[in-house]
Amino acid sequence: MFRHVPNALTAARLVLAAVFFVQLSFYQHEGRGDPWLLNSAFIVYLVALLTDFLDGYLARRWNVEGVFGRVVDPLVDKVLVLGSFIFFAGKNFIISESAMGLRTGTEVVVKTVSGVAPGIVVLLLTRELLVTSIRGSSEAGGQSFGAAFSGKLKMVFQSVTILVILVYVNYLDRLDRVGHAELKMIGRYCRDFCIWATVGITVLSGLLYVQRAVAMYRRGLAVA
């Protein structure tokens, strides 16, 4: 009876990811920027995080860990996280700001209100593809290559950053309207810190996985 509960939670998280992305696709900053979209998206993401914790915990407690959970669970995590950052770097979160140009004086600069640039998404995606390739190659050779602590820490940083961005984007305009410039600045610093901390731990995690793979490869050569 209980053995299917963790898998059901994993499948439910995939459905929640789809709902989350639909909400982000309907939101448009300085357009269809209804606050309820990001408020509800925040709740959906929190529930998805809760199912992520529960499915792993219950699978270990009831000793029902299986192939489905080992394959689909990390896949859903990657879809949810990478999909979020792709949306944050996309057209629905674009804003225009005035900046001083060297030749023309004041000019318009296009940015994302989320603070996520396409290059950051490329970096996150590269890390995931690299680690997935290393894991697949190692396990095909009969060597276990499970998740390391740095990988779990990276997931925590990424999830916190997504939640911080949702709150920042949703309440930025209201802070502007009521004239809370200090709070707006604090929120921006908090958003930027979370983003760059995520980038840092993602790069570090990728390097640690590569180091671990090289060590395993050398041990394999030594045994051979």
**What are the residue boundaries of the structural domains of the chain, listed by start?**
2-223
Query: Angle between the 67-88 and 118-140 helix axes, to the nearest 10 degrees?
Result: 160
**Sign of the dihedral through C-alpha 25, 26, 29, 35:** negative
Among 136, 135, 141, 142, which Cα is nearest to 209's? 135
Q: 98 near 133, Cβ under 8 Å?
A: no
Confidence class of residue 105 from pLDDT cuts 50, 70 and 90?
Answer: low
Question: The tokens 């996150």 sit on which residue?
Answer: 124
How many Å apart are CA 161 and CA 141, to the nearest integer? Answer: 36
The vertex-84 CA angle with 121 and 22, nearest 5°, equals 140
Taking only the tens place, the pLDDT of each residue in 33-61 is 677 899 999 999 999 999 998 988 888 78
Taking only the tens place, the pLDDT of each residue in 56-99 is 888 878 877 777 777 788 899 999 999 999 999 999 998 877 55
pTM for this structure? 0.89
Looking at the DSSP assignment, which residues form a beta bridge with residue 187?
Answer: none
Q: Does the domain spanning 2-223 belong to CATH 1.20.120.1760?
A: yes
